[in-house]
Copies of this chain bind each other. A is one copy, B any other.
Amino acid sequence: MSGDRVTSVDVARRAGVSQSTVSLVFSGKAEGRISARTTALVRAAAVELGYRPNAAARALKTGAARTVALVVPDVTNPFFGGLLRGAQTAARAAGYAVALIDTANDRDWGAASAEALQAGPADGLMLFEVDPPPRAPGARADAAEPIVVIESESRGHTSVRLDVEDGTLAAVGHLRELGHERIGHVASIHDRPTFRLRRRAVDRLAGKGTPRARCDFTLDSARSAALELLHADPSLTALFCDDDVIAAGAYLAARELERRIPADLSVVGFDGLDIGRVLDPPVTTVVADAVELGRVAFELLHAQLAGNRPRSRVLPVELAVRGSTAPPRT
């Protein structure tokens, strides 16, 4: 019950030096100021006692928690695995911890948590598809906390996003080139910038009247949406899906309707997830590098933390033509 924490004072006493010497040693500022012998002494005492610098005290004093927060709408989607990996790896290399907030697609919660995070547990924020918190009325502009917006855009905030417009155009263009005239769009139910971009690009190439059904990123939901689309308009020869999980759902629907892919129906996905690779045939998809997205997001945040104003970036995506697309049956 009495979990007495061991502090730098204890270490100092044990090593027979002053507390500030211990501090110097542990904050890496001992170089050329503390003798090697003393340093070793302190280290030994610390190990013996099991001393760990208190992060809260350090954060309070220095004003930096060395922690960044990453807010995502749905950790359950495999795409975020890569994003997390990239952000986390980069952060660790820079000596930062990552606090993860999964909003479970609850936008209000996203906003709320982003705001809460600004309190100081986090030195900076990486927001995936969630809007930055409103600036407090009295807050000074220059006191704004570093923020990087991912897959979204926001006045005055640095952002990274995938070139989804290019990707969508490539995907739908590919379908058109194969000769598809009747293309359906299985779209995300979530009204977020990245999906708006896709919608616009689809409409541009496939026509404003493109049949569209919405779903979230679960197999069942996607399956239903595809079914709905295919029932409503049996003349559809191709489906563009906002994500590979959705594409997988479309495969389920096609299997049920006994429409063979790609002979009876072409399907294109987005993201380049494993789930798309194991489909039979493997789905043609727009490959995005989620790990790189996470890495760049942290890099941009890190630059801000260092006092710079990095430029927003757009990452390329690439259409990978696999087995799910073919000319329509005439």
Residues on A close to B: CB < 8 A? 1-6, 47-57, 59-60, 63, 65-67, 69, 75-78, 80-82, 84-85, 88-89, 92, 97-102, 104, 115, 117-121, 135-140, 142-144, 218-219, 245, 248, 251-252, 255, 274-275, 277-280, 307
Contacts and interface: CB of A to CB of B under 8 A. Distances in A.
A137 B99 contact: no
A142 B3 contact: yes
A277 B54 contact: no
B279 A278 contact: yes
Contacts of A67: 99, 119-121
A105 to B, nearest CB: 11
Given A55-B118, A55-B119, A56-B56, A99 B97 contact: yes
Contacts of A84: 75, 100, 102
Nearest to A282: B252
Contacts of A82: 76
A135 B6 CA distance: 14
Given A48-B138, A278-B275, A121 B75 contact: no
Contacts of A219: 274, 277-278
Contact of A119 (B54, B139, B274, B278): B54
Nearest to A98: B100
B53 A3 contact: no
Nearest to A251: B278
Given A274-B275, A280-B280, A136 B50 contact: yes
A143 B3 contact: yes
A149 B102 CA distance: 22
Given A88-B101, A97-B120, A248-B274, A49 B280 contact: no
A245 B98 CA distance: 26
Contact of A120 (B66, B100, B248, B274): B66
Given A75-B84, A119-B53, A274 B245 contact: yes
A251 to B, nearest CB: 6
Nearest to A109: B92
Contacts of A6: 138-139, 143
Given A48-B138, A97-B101, A248-B278, 18 more contacts: A1-B142, A3-B142, A6-B138, A48-B136, A52-B118, A52-B119, A56-B57, A59-B59, A75-B88, A85-B104, A97-B118, A97-B119, A97-B121, A100-B100, A252-B278, A274-B275, A278-B278, A280-B280
Please name the 3 residue pairs, one residue from A and one from B, whose CB atoms are nearest each other, closest first: A50-B136, A50-B139, A56-B59
A320 to B, nearest CB: 14
24 contacts: A1-B142, A5-B63, A6-B143, A47-B138, A48-B137, A50-B135, A52-B117, A52-B119, A54-B120, A55-B59, A56-B57, A57-B60, A59-B121, A66-B120, A75-B81, A78-B78, A85-B104, A89-B104, A92-B101, A97-B121, A98-B99, A98-B100, A275-B275, A279-B280
